[in-house]
Chain A
């Protein structure tokens, strides 16, 4: 497959860009932050996105979706990264849609996928319990109780955890923290007895939450996939999320870079545009090169998820590691090259630095994925 977007995917990108520039520019995120919006995103805008087919971009047509594949989802994530659009896209439309599509039982698909596509229900994926990502580190217990299970434990860094209607949660039905075997995924109603959420306002002004599960009852119908065998399934879902975040970071990095290049052409010091100084030119040219590499890795990861989902783990780690590093560099260079104005809250560039920092931490930072890649490569 050629490593380029198809015509259809390009059209999707163009329409997403036009829509987001108009409806959800950075000023929209700024407003959500400044008004302490209780949702952290606009429900009206999410409705509109759903009408455009974005909410169900990964949902098949049988369940009311657009079935555009991971490249399509990545195209939208990238455009949202450009405008720093706050939306439930990652949690609901990438993570939950992937989980349900890949491992959901027919009844679960019937119940949830059409609502996801319609933008009518929101999901969150709860995995991590400590500061650093690590799906095998899950300790939360799912104890057998009658015909079902009782879930107890804490989850952290759960995107959209405070607004979700349903939570996909990883818990231990066997084994001990650190082991891959013994994990099970549950699909829990967020309003179920014993579930409580503390919204955590993060540095990027986006949504996350700490969740508490206190003897939350789950039946056999609430199990997503196989008992004790949830690790592989979870990795697949996480890979989709990692590629989605990499695409988002790619969009953010490209936009921060564009703003920086524009600034280099207009800002004058010592009687010339600062972009004429070789010290800055070389740094900008190096960053351009890194951004091109990041774009290639990101696109390849999305294509591989579409072409052979089960084998895309290593390439998703490549994309997440590369995008994390490059986007971080892009945001740092952006602030430095903007000088004093780059440090002001009034100017938008700081929002990019903040969001990139969060996106690069989520589901494994660059070091996590470099280590994972090395393991997969046998060293």
Chain B
């Protein structure tokens, strides 16, 4: 038996023994995610046990190095672990912006001290992070951001406002892009800094979306004092001062990968055709609405091809590396596809899908989800920004 086969066997046995029954329902969706953090209330004892057991193995982030709380697994081993978890419909034990975004940025740009200090609590779900990127006047043109960060000798002084800070009201810490050199050209005066949300002068305000939900916040910084070192040798700034844009770009790549992979994950479970067949019925084995049937078939072809592309790009990427600029392609296509998918589900659902309140539609779950997808092609860089990146970085087309 090869080493990988042994690993598969052992992994299966371990999961079988350690994954609580309640965590094997394959439940996805934002409402079932375990986010962790000091404010977190576990939805069940099983959710807590599952997190703790996986964290102990380092399997909340199986590909991170062991010394920082990860599992130290190879790319092939991670694939096996994920496959085995999928097969038993195990829920993900922990998801967070710490895992998706800050972690990869720290692993690449952080010092050993920063990694040791910040990464293990992320892997155990103890500290929840949020992201301070966009500002009211810096959306697609993110590098024009103005949040001020002044050097006051022994500390930094931060003043400004961030917007679309997801779950800021439930987070412990925030990674923020700030302007540390107002004289430099716009990409060259930005730094990437880590701020404790409990610091005096940090406040948040939820933003209600068209879906009726409020995952996003505005976050305000009023004379916030950030120590230069959060602990001896642990700098508040990640990477070089004024080189925060490099970190930001790298992190955005991961965010795009996460969003596109998430879009792919949503394709699991019941297919569009099956959903529509249940809702509007079949005639002679075919969906009773032939125009909708054609659109759904086309969408399934594109969705399936997209999933295969995610798989191919992961297989093509060298071990330990991401998919690079292709993350923009995946983000663009995945989010646009997800919007299309929800439009078709709304078409299938007809008038019933429009019920906003009440038990029958679980408080308008589909309608709210449909509206939520409209943000997919805006957050993390709009579709238009992704197309710009593809044109410039992949196709090497000339600038204006």
Contact = CB atoms under 8 A, between A and B. Distances in A.
Contacts of A377: 271, 273-274, 297, 300
Given A282-B384, A292-B326, A293-B302, A3 B398 contact: no
Contacts of B277: 378-379
A318 B301 contact: yes
Interface in B290-304: 293-294, 296-298, 300-302, 304
A377 B270 CA distance: 11
Interface string A87-100: 00000000000000
B140 to A, nearest CB: 13
A3 B315 contact: yes
Interface in A351-379: 367, 370-371, 373-375, 377-379
B397 A272 contact: no
Interface string A318-349: 10011000000000000000000000000000
B387 A286 contact: yes
Contacts of B386: 285
Interface in A263-311: 264-265, 272-273, 275-278, 281-282, 284-286, 288-289, 292-297, 299-300
A377 B297 CA distance: 9
A379 B287 contact: yes
A285 B396 CA distance: 11
B168 interface: no
Contact of A289 (B282, B316, B329): B329
Contact-residue size bin, chain B (C-beta under 8 Å from the other chain)? 35 or more
B286 A374 contact: yes
B397 A322 contact: no
B285 A318 contact: no
Contact of B305 (A2, A293, A367, A370): A293
A282 B391 CA distance: 7
Contact-residue size bin, chain A (C-beta under 8 Å from the other chain)? 35 or more
Contact of A379 (B282, B298, B308): B282
B198 interface: no
Contacts of B329: 285, 288-289, 292
Given A281-B391, A292-B329, A371 B297 contact: yes
Contact of B304 (A272, A285, A297, A367): A297
A238 B271 CA distance: 27
A379 B276 contact: yes
A216 interface: no
A373 B300 contact: yes
A273 B312 contact: no
A300 B397 CA distance: 30
A227 interface: no
B397 A296 contact: no
Contacts of B286: 374-375, 379
A327 to B, nearest CB: 13
A4 interface: yes
B309 A379 contact: no
A286 to B, nearest CB: 7
B305 A297 contact: yes
Nearest to B276: A379
Contacts of A294: 305
B297 A370 contact: yes
A261 B311 contact: no
B333 interface: yes
Contacts of B399: 276
Contacts of B391: 281-282, 284-285
Interface string B368-394: 000000000000000010111011001
A292 B296 CA distance: 21
B319 interface: no
A208 B298 CA distance: 30
28 contacts: A2-B315, A261-B395, A277-B400, A281-B388, A281-B397, A282-B384, A282-B391, A285-B391, A286-B332, A292-B313, A293-B309, A293-B333, A296-B305, A296-B311, A297-B301, A300-B308, A318-B305, A322-B305, A367-B294, A370-B301, A371-B297, A373-B297, A374-B287, A374-B293, A375-B286, A377-B300, A379-B274, A379-B293
Given A281-B388, A282-B388, A374-B287, 17 more contacts: A4-B312, A275-B397, A278-B400, A285-B387, A285-B388, A286-B387, A288-B390, A292-B309, A293-B305, A294-B305, A296-B309, A370-B301, A373-B297, A374-B273, A375-B286, A377-B271, A377-B297
Interface of A: 2-4, 261, 264-265, 272-273, 275-278, 281-282, 284-286, 288-289, 292-297, 299-300, 318, 321-322, 367, 370-371, 373-375, 377-379
